[in-house]
Structure 1
Amino acid sequence: MPVLYGTADSPACRAVYMTADALGLKLEKKQVSLDKGEHMKPEYLKINPQHTIPTLCDNGFIIWDSHAIIAFLVGKYGNDDQLYSKDIMERALIDQRLHFDSSVVNNFTRTILNPMLYNNAHISVDEHRESILKTYALMEKFLRSYPWIAGKKLTIADLSLIPSITSLDVIVPISREDYPNLTKWIEKAERLPCYVENENGLNLLRDLLSCRCCCPCTEDISIKSGFRVTSREFVEMTMKLYFFEAAPPVRSVLMTLKALDITVELVRLNLSEKEQLDASFLELNPTHTVPTLDDNGFVVWDSHAIMQYLVDKYAINDELYPKNFNKRTKVNQMLFFDTSILFPSLARAVRPVFYDDVTSIPTENIVVIEEAFSFLETFLSSQEYLAGDVLSLADICAVATVTTIELFHKLNGDMYPNVKAWLDNMKSLDFYSENLEGLQKFSDMLLPLLKP
């Protein structure tokens, strides 16, 4: 029986509970009390050096990050692919929504709920209300054409987002009048047999919050041959990539395109002129983010989802994103590490410089970056690349982020020798050239704003 370490008040854990229930899979649930620091004990750090919940142990195979876990469970234990379609386009939309949950919605768990629950912190919900309402508005747009978040049928994207959104509803209630599609989606979810796994945890969350705070409710690889596409001419004719080269996620996609030898039409958006907010682009991507890929009318955003889609649809082999179940799960885990930990540490550091006239990177933000570096050092302590001994999409994502951080905070090679060796190796690969122009652009934008 698979063992899951976690706690029911965590939305991420509830996503795994719901998925297991939907699959008819029994889990041995082991409680990890974060407020007692059980996630920092040596025996837990041995299985998950990132010290997060949930963590799954399945006959010796260990995986963390709820999104990677639920994809693993469906792939291994599902009788079919209903919850996580094998159709490339359908799966790309599901992956996109999973990364939306990881990078956007779960951010509120990390910044609001967790400090309230486990650190006895007083958090002003009002300071986050506008951002939460914007998240509801995006969900409303996602649901305007289909009953479920990634199409006509329930998927793991729903099972991941349901606990996240309903947990936010505890602190910022969802208005039926303002968000009718979102409300209907929640009501459908509440009728699912597996929803009881969410309801139980929500009740616990409400009880804990009512006691502790004030709230309304209380992939040596041959790049030249291994990854390339079979029909480059077709790709050139049909794909557009909306981009702004300075952005690290864009550079991740550009490096993937180079590794796969795919040529696309590049459509540059001038973000300083707010071109990402033009109605024509919002029609393609209501989250108005770059990169956004338009493949002959099939539109997908989020760099991780785009990269997964490109390999699944166009690569001759699967070396960058293996079809082997356990190997893919490990890559997914590291992709979500970039989504939820590594890239946010960069964004948290530079956003005030770009938008709030801050002229230095606060010490507390450097501490967050150092923690992310320490995780990378641990991941690379026994393997050459982030998800094993073969280069993968996870490395391409991470190198774009790490090299950007190095513009203002150099990696200490003495403290992080494994990361330094990995980084030097990544810079030697052919596709890395696609990182350079955008990296220089980012440098030209950022460094003049910082005091010497």
Structure 2
Amino acid sequence: MPVDLYYLPPSIPCRAVMMLAKALGIHLNLKVVNILEGEHLKPEFLKINPQHTIPTINDNGLILWESRAIMGYFVEKYAKNDSLYPKDPQRRGHVDQKLYFDLGTLNQNLLKTYFPIIFGQTESIDDKNLEALEKAFEILDTFLEGSRFVAGDQLTIADFSIIATVSTADAFGFDIGRFDNVANWYRQCQIAMADFGYEEINATGAKMLGDMLKSRKAEMTIDLYYVPGSAPCRAVLLTAAAVGVELNKKMTDLMKGEHLKPEFLKMNPQHTIPTLDDDGFYLWESRAIMGYLVDKYAKNDSLFPKDPKARAVINQRLYFDHGTLYNAFAEYFYPTIFGNAPADPVKREKIDQALEFLDKFLEGQKYAAGKTLTIADLALAVTVSNFEAMNLDLSKFKNVVRWLATIKSEAPKYEETNGAGAKAFKELADSLKKSCKGAFVLIPLDTRCKFTLTSTWYMNYAITITGTDVRVKSGNVSRKQKHDMSLDLYFTPFSPPCRAVLLAAEAIGISLNCINVDLFSGEQLKPEYEQLNPQKTVPLLIDGDFKLSESRAIMIYLVNAYGKNDRLYPKDPATRAVVNQHLYFDMGHLYKSISEYFYPVLFMGATTHDPAKYDNLTSAYEILDKLLDGHDYVAGRNLTLADLAVVASVSTADVLNFDHKKYKNVSRWYERVKRSAPGYRKINADGAEIMKQFLKDPEA
């Protein structure tokens, strides 16, 4: 006599019961209960099962629900032997343990992670739930160490239960391949259960749930406002291809001023491209977008690892690209392409210098920031491909040439995304050289088309001064007593990026062993320092055998490695992305405009300030003022790393007598950060004062 099974095909526990029934030769009378339409809440079903759950069976009057109880009952009553659910107390205990592990840990965390999206309760995966799911898979991987199946060397009902859960995770896009033992077991189960309806029952049902998730995600379109030839836009598109997320591309005609229309300015007051609209969450600055796409949508973190040191190196390379390599390209080529200016040999030398740094980074390395492809490779490859497009000879940079060939062959959709885009940029550049002058609006940058750099201070918040005809009081900062963790910071006290790092350390509550680098006597150019940091910049952090430059990368690393909580750099993908966006804004716009206006007179011997640079400076403050409208801090309601970086810049302009008071939001925020940033007076105000004293007496 057949057993009635009340079920729904995609249901995870229903699939486990159905496969087991087929393995035991039990004939099921299938009765669909559509829980999506509330059929499980009808009186006739509640009379059978007051808990109104599926699967539920009726075996000649015996009513039973809870899939794992049903599976045990089926073996006890219908199996020819007890191999699937051994009677031996110890062996059965192991099977029961794995069944309860599935129910309370593995399956539970899978449902918490993905079902809220499927049923429209949320639009993104909760990081904490995903971490819990990953932890559950780590435990399962440990269970399977040295075992063919989850409860020993024989197939049991625990495998039927867990395979239904794991196959659903796979259908949702969860990367099972990271867990070697789970992946091997998964393949073995598919073979072992092939005759028990694995494909038609389990795989088909899992695919239904996977398709539901994909359909729900498809409803939540991610819009990208872009220009095809733009290097930053191409980097975002490469990342999307690597992550496997579809972007709804919206061409933004800069020539027609579409980025200046009220509807665009409402999304992005900085009016730059690329700009991302993820269901009402707006984000710009390409590298911030790239990190966000990985954090929120990637199956795993290989493109942007969560490990603090691995992520720190990637961030360092991203800031190097933004402030040094890509900046060198823009400074040299854009004036000639878009402004019809003559080539500047000094700026041409900076390109070679930047490429030499990259070549050193790549010495003995397949990738730019580790052993696997990351978003650092994608961003840097786009920049280097721009040099190729402009026919720059890269042959003397052997490591760069080798690495670029690797990225071209391995980055998903490289040619259709970046190759075609670089070609479009080249064609645009050629046509403009022939017919246009001063068409600044076309510059495909994350920036707002400013490109003159006259200071020898690196604009990536790392200071290098090679002149010998200037002197400055170093503050006589001596080597402090070593921190227990030996966190050495090579710094100079008046440097804004160094001050930002010190502010971050103070906010985290860790001590740094500060080692003063006398830039004016050329200590950063000595071989022993170059060995530590080929880029010859400060700040430089050394944590044991781990070395890291680029101030913002250092700040992020300190939070990830030593922070007691994530308040300064939140783990939530959207919030973190906004912090990153403002860090890039500070580096590429605010601090850059401050340094370009003040530093030529302060350090380079210029006698007057450049009025055009002043316009850039006021423009940056206007943007900052808009970003702060309605916000206590630059990235929301709480103090973050973005505030610490930006306040180091703003305080520098303040001591150099820039009047920020007409920017009401900036002034309000500035006073708030002065009060709320731990150690502000002793770290930032005093360091800025040293710069002010130098302004008064450069020979001191």
1:373 aligns with 2:593: no
CA, structure 1 residues 442+272, in 2 after alignment: closer, same or farther (shift >3 Å)? same
How far apart are 1:354 and its partner, in Å?
4.3
* Residue of structure 1 equivalent to 2:695: 446
1:201 aligns with 2:421: yes
For 2:284 and 2:342, how far apart are their aligned partners in 1? 27
1:427 aligns with 2:674: yes
For 1:212 and 1:112, how far apart are their aligned partners in 2? 16
CA, structure 1 residues 85+123, in 2 after alignment: closer, same or farther (shift >3 Å)? farther
1:16-95 aligned at under 5 Å gives the runs 16-95=236-315
For 2:560 and 2:249, how far apart are their aligned partners in 1? 34
1:306 aligns with 2:525: no
For 1:343 and 1:166, how far apart are their aligned partners in 2? 27
In terms of mean alpha carbon deviation, does 104-113 or 202-211 score higher?
104-113
The letter for the 2-side match of 1:410 is: F
1:8-407 aligned at under 5 Å gives the runs 8-108=228-328, 110-114=330-334, 119-124=338-343, 126-171=345-390, 173-176=392-395, 178-192=396-410, 193-196=412-415, 197-213=417-433, 235-407=483-655
The letter for the 2-side match of 1:142 is: F
Deviation track 1:63-121 (CA, whole Å, cap 9, x = no partner) reads 0010010101011111001100111100000011111111112324554555556x554
CA, structure 1 residues 208+101, in 2 after alignment: closer, same or farther (shift >3 Å)? same
SS at match of 1:286: coil
SS at match of 2:413: helix
CA contact (8 A) 1:236 1:264 kept: no
- Unaligned 5+ runs, structure 2: 1-220, 435-480
For 1:319 and 1:298, how far apart are their aligned partners in 2? 24
Deviation track 1:33-80 (CA, whole Å, cap 9, x = no partner) reads 223322112221111100111000111111001001010101111100
For 1:111 and 1:440, how far apart are their aligned partners in 2? 31
Deviation track 1:11-46 (CA, whole Å, cap 9, x = no partner) reads 100000111111222111111122332211222111
* Residue of structure 2 equivalent to 1:230: none
For 1:148 and 1:125, how far apart are their aligned partners in 2? 32
1:403-418 aligned at under 5 Å gives the runs 403-413=651-661, 415-418=662-665
Deviation track 1:257-276 (CA, whole Å, cap 9, x = no partner) reads 11122112111000000000
The letter for the 2-side match of 1:436 is: A
For 1:174 and 1:183, how far apart are their aligned partners in 2? 10
How far apart are 1:145 and its partner, in Å?
2.6
CA contact (8 A) 2:568 2:640 kept: yes
Deviation track 1:206-248 (CA, whole Å, cap 9, x = no partner) reads 111111227xxxxxxxxxxxxxxxxxx9953411000001110
For 2:651 and 2:421, how far apart are their aligned partners in 1? 40
CA contact (8 A) 1:244 1:270 kept: yes
The letter for the 1-side match of 2:667 is: K
For 1:126 and 1:21, how far apart are their aligned partners in 2? 37
CA, structure 1 residues 102+373, in 2 after alignment: closer, same or farther (shift >3 Å)? same
For 1:375 and 1:168, how far apart are their aligned partners in 2? 30
Q: TM-score, normalised by structure 2?
A: 0.59
For 1:88 and 1:182, how far apart are their aligned partners in 2? 26
For 2:257 and 2:345, how far apart are their aligned partners in 1? 29
SS at match of 2:667: helix
Q: TM-score, normalised by structure 1?
A: 0.91
* Residue of structure 1 equivalent to 2:108: none
How far apart are 1:346 and its partner, in Å?
1.7
The letter for the 2-side match of 1:101 is: D
CA contact (8 A) 2:651 2:685 kept: no
For 1:172 and 1:427, how far apart are their aligned partners in 2? 49
Query: Max radius of gyration: which structure?
Result: 2
Query: CA RMSD, aligned part only?
Result: 1.9
CA contact (8 A) 2:389 2:423 kept: no
In terms of mean alpha carbon deviation, does 377-386 or 259-268 score higher?
259-268
- Relative contact order (alpha carbons < 8 A, sep ≥ 6): 1 or 2 greater? 1
For 2:553 and 2:538, how far apart are their aligned partners in 1? 12
CA, structure 1 residues 5+344, in 2 after alignment: closer, same or farther (shift >3 Å)? same
For 1:389 and 1:363, how far apart are their aligned partners in 2? 35
SS at match of 1:133: helix
The letter for the 2-side match of 1:201 is: G
CA, structure 1 residues 335+426, in 2 after alignment: closer, same or farther (shift >3 Å)? same
CA, structure 1 residues 9+424, in 2 after alignment: closer, same or farther (shift >3 Å)? same
For 1:432 and 1:138, how far apart are their aligned partners in 2? 34
Deviation track 1:347-399 (CA, whole Å, cap 9, x = no partner) reads 21233224531123221111111111101100110111000111100000011
* Residue of structure 2 equivalent to 1:219: none
How far apart are 1:432 and its partner, in Å?
0.7
How far apart are 1:179 and its partner, in Å?
0.5
The letter for the 1-side match of 2:238 is: M
For 1:274 and 1:126, how far apart are their aligned partners in 2? 24
CA contact (8 A) 2:390 2:426 kept: no
SS at match of 2:282: strand
How far apart are 1:127 and its partner, in Å?
4.6
CA, structure 1 residues 87+412, in 2 after alignment: closer, same or farther (shift >3 Å)? closer
Deviation track 1:159-181 (CA, whole Å, cap 9, x = no partner) reads 111111211233361332x1100
For 1:237 and 1:202, how far apart are their aligned partners in 2? 46
